[in-house]
Structure 1
């Protein structure tokens, strides 16, 4: 199993709106993708920003192409992300899950 980790950042005032968007748009997109297993979505805030970590779990690295395309290292964004995200990291990180 492969864990794919993405990180993002919004303004604090966008925390709830972005969380709602991810629940309504992105999470269903992940769940309908062949090879997807599960996900964990994390968030935290400080005085100025809200930080997100999305950890998705996949059967193997090859099935991630069903979601991300041929370049599995490239981060995938939705057009609506432009309303919320402060920066757009180009890549994600993959880890082999060797224990749960």
Structure 2
């Protein structure tokens, strides 16, 4: 039986619109694969606004212990990618960690 996630770890970052199309493939190549190897699931979102683009990565974890093992004991610490300072308007200072209260995935 597959493990259901109980924890969602959420990272948010924003770029200027003119660099968003370069940041997205970088984030896909460097930020997402480590999560795909370890987390139960991962999603990447992008919202383009007038002058900036927001990126949100949500990874799903069986429990706090699994997430803490992935983050080497610091689940709320932001681990910036090497080129984040080049792309992001400011470096995010925190990660959100949420308990999943409802997990119904009837999306079609």
TM over 0.5: yes
Equivalent residue in structure 2 for 1:57, among 34, 56, 60: 60
63-72 or 11-20, which deviates more? 63-72
Q: Which has the higher strand share?
A: 1
TM-aligned CA deviation for residue 81 of structure 1: 1.2
Distance 2:18 2:86 in 1: 12
TM-aligned CA deviation for residue 72 of structure 1: 0.9
Q: Residue 10 of structure 2 aligns with which residue?
A: 5
Q: Residue 102 of structure 2 aligns with which residue?
A: 99
Higher gyration radius (CA): 2
Deviations 1:47-70 (A, max 9, x none): 211111111101111111233221
TM-aligned CA deviation for residue 95 of structure 1: 0.8
Aligned residues: 98
Q: CA RMSD, aligned part only?
A: 1.2
Gaps in structure 2 of 5+ consecutive residues: 1-5, 104-108
> TM-score, normalised to structure 1's length?
0.89
